[in-house]
Each structure stands twice: as structure tokens, then as C-alpha cells.
Amino acid sequence: MRHWLSVVALVVSFSYPACNAPQVPPEVKEAKAQEDELWRAGAFVYLPQDYADYRGQIAEAKERLIREKAKFPWFRHYKNAGEAYRSALHEGERILEETKKIKEEKSHSIASQLKSFKNRINSLRRLAIMINGGGLIRAMTMRADLLLAEVSLLHEKGNFLEAEKKLKNVAFHVSDAENFVSLTLARYQDEALIEEWRKWVEETISESREKGIAVIIVTKIDRRLTLYERGRLILSFEIGLGRNGLFDKLHVGDYATPEGRYRIKDKLPSSHYYKALLIDYPNHDDRERFYLNRKKRLIPAGVSIGGSIEIHGGGNDSLTDGCISLENDDMDLLFSLAEVGTPVTIVGSLSSWKEILVKENESSRNF
């Protein structure tokens, strides 16, 4: 009897009109297209938990569809499966929009950071010129440059999470270089020292005006030598400094350029670096500071104060052992105007560190 009923059911099923069989919900095809779109958008990366829940809904909807398809055609009802797919599709639309929004925000943020880091690196390179630390700063920022190039490529490809990871490394290298510069230039944040330097320059120019003589002013942060005559600016030259030129000279071999009020004590028409003007470093103030620093153990035992500081030719783009260098043509002109006894005042800066940073930031934005 059971065998007979099975045969009848089989015959009936094959003879059942196909047009009367329930149709698979159109949402099934839409869901497949949506799954592909969500995968391409990277929803599994940006909203992993939401995407996992969505995949669970899709899996449940597929289970319902499979169970219905397993039934004889006239017993199939796709209402529950259709509702499950529609619910999943609704959630998928939300996830897709949210993913697009997250990616857009990340893209904007990364682009902004790329621009900021490029400006900071450019600013560091200009500051490196001031402190004669170009080689070291370039080494410290080179890795940041390479990483920035990688970030730019990842950004173009839309791989924002990996770009963000590399940006953290960029920030580390840039901050490291900035800390180095800050330590080197820390003394230029000392307002009392800046004021003292300004006083030296004002007094030197006043001496030029009152005595009708030429005087030389060297401003290290600006890498600039200026010549005043009778209190008026006559000439201005770009200069080179010692390897540690922005530091005040403490002892022989520190490669720093001294700061203070000096005088030319000799004119050398022929020297190792073209022509030269020898200044009277160390003077009384330099010696007092040297012995004080030695008592404080800031100077190694057996190290002397040094000397032979010159304003010489040879080019303004080289690093000296502590002297001040000019292009030979500029040295010719300065040599003809300076005399033994001409005052030479060397200062770190006439601008505060805040003013220097403002100038650098403005220069960075216009770069």
C-alpha cells in the first residue's frame, strides 16, 4: 500500500504544472549581489561584528530556502525564506552605507595627515640647515619619507587600515627628529638669553654710530653676517658655521661657534681657507665661563679652551670646526673693509624661538 502511494505521489509530482510551482524569492539573487558588494567594500574589515551577524542572517535565510526546496513543489512556501532574505538585505544596506562612511572619513583623515607630515618634514629640513644637522636630520626623516610613500600608495588603493598603521610609524620617526631639533635649539627658548643677545647687538651698532667705525654682527640662527658702518647696514652675507654651530663654544674640539663680543686681532691675506680675519677668542668672558664649567664638571679633564676662531673664505656651504665661513668673493669685500680692532659680535638669534617657529610654519604652508 505504501509503495503504491509513493508511486502515485511521484507520478503526480512530475505531472504538476511548472507554472503553478512557487517561485524562488527574487531577494535570493539580490542577496548574492549584495554579498559580493559588501565583500568588495571591505565590510568584513571595517565592521567585522556587524558583517558576521549579517552573514549569520544570510545563512539562516539559505537554510529556510533549502528546507522549502526539499519539499514537493505544491508544498513549498517561500514566505519565511523571503522575509529572512529581506531582513538580511535591509541589514546589508545599512552595513554597506556605514562602511562607505567609515572609509570616506578614514580617507579624508589619512589625506590630511599625509599633508601635515610632509609639511613637518619640510620644516625639519629647513631647521636642519639652521643647525647644520642636515645629514643627521635627513637620516632621521628618510624612513618617514619612505613610509609616507607607502601610505600614499595604500591610500590610493583604498587600504585605509594598513595606511593608518604605517602612519603611526611615520609619527614616531617625525617626532624623533623633532625632539632632536628641540633639544638642539632649547637654548633659543630662553627669553633672557635672547634679550642679552639683542643688547650686545644694539650696543655694538651704537658703538659703530658713535665712533664712526665698521662693526660686524653674526646671527647664527639666520646664518647671516652683516657689516655696519657708522651705525648703518652696509653689507649682508650668508655664512657657514661649525658642525655644532648653534651651540655656544665650551672647549676645543666641540665644533661649536663661540658667542660674545670680540674684535679682529689679525688679518691673514693667505690662510688654509683663502683669506681670514682672526678674532680674539677666547676673551676674558670666555675664560671665566670655561673655568666655571670645568668646576661644574661640564668639561672633561685635560681639555683646553681652544682658539684660532676665524672668519674665513672657502664657501658658506661647508661645516667648519667652529669658524665662520663665507664665499670667497664675499670674503674679499669684507676683508677690504674690516681692520684689526673691528668689533665682531656673535649671537645665537635676535628672534625668540616662538617667532622662529611661526616663520617656519608659514614657510611650510607656502612650500
Q: What is the CATH number of the domain that holds 228?
A: 2.40.440.10
Per-residue confidence band for 322, with pLDDT thresholds at 50, 70 and 90: confident
> In this model, does residue 250 exceed pLDDT 80?
yes
pLDDT of residue 270: 84
Mean pLDDT of 33-46: 94
Q: pLDDT per residue over 324-359, tens digit each?
A: 999 999 999 999 999 999 999 999 988 876 666 666
3-state SS class at 170? helix
- The C-alpha angle with vertex 95 and arms to 90 and 101, in degrees rounded to 5, equals 130
> In this model, does residue 367 exceed pLDDT 80?
no
Tell me how far the alpha carbon of residue 345 is from its chain's centroid.
35
Mean pLDDT of 272-285: 93
- The C-alpha angle with vertex 233 and arms to 207 and 256, in degrees rounded to 5, equals 75
Whether 161 is in a domain gets the answer no
More confident residue, 273 or 186: 273
Separation of alpha carbons 175 and 164, rounded Å: 16
Whether 168 is in a domain gets the answer no
Separation of alpha carbons 278 and 275, rounded Å: 10
Whether 173 is in a domain gets the answer no
* DSSP H or E run through 325: strand 324-325
Q: Longest C-alpha distance within the chain, in Å?
A: 136
Whether 37 is in a domain gets the answer no
Residue 346 φ then ψ, to 5°: -115, 120
Sequence-separated contacts (24+) of 221-227 with Cβ below 8 Å: 221/130, 221/188, 221/246, 221/348, 221/349, 221/351, 221/356, 222/130, 222/349, 222/350, 223/129, 223/130, 223/316, 225/311, 225/324, 225/326, 225/334, 227/334, 227/337, 227/338
Whether 197 is in a domain gets the answer yes
Measure the CA dihedral 218/223/229/234, to 10°.
Answer: 180
Provide the domain limits for residue 333: 191-351
Q: What percent of the chain has pLDDT over 70?
A: 88
Tell me how far the alpha carbon of residue 244 is from its chain's centroid.
23
- Mean pLDDT score across all residues of the chain: 86
More confident residue, 161 or 14: 161
Mean pLDDT of 65-70: 89
> In this model, does residue 8 exceed pLDDT 50?
no
Whether 164 is in a domain gets the answer no
**What residue type is assigned to position 253 of the chain?**
G
* DSSP H or E run through 165: helix 160-184
More confident residue, 292 or 10: 292
Tell me how far the alpha carbon of residue 158 is from its chain's centroid.
22
Decide: residue 10, CB within 10 A, 0-12 exposed, 13-18 middle, 19+ buried: exposed
Query: How many domains does one find in the chain?
Result: 1
pLDDT of residue 247: 77
Q: pLDDT per residue over 292-315, tens digit each?
A: 988 888 888 888 998 889 999 988
Mean pLDDT of 135-144: 77
Q: pLDDT per residue over 172-225, tens digit each?
A: 989 888 887 777 777 888 889 999 999 999 999 999 999 999 999 999 988 899
Q: pLDDT per residue over 82-123, tens digit each?
A: 999 999 999 999 999 999 999 999 999 999 999 999 998 888
> In this model, does residue 249 exceed pLDDT 90?
no
Measure the CA dihedral 203/209/211/212, to 10°.
Answer: 140
Whether 117 is in a domain gets the answer no
Whether 260 is in a domain gets the answer yes
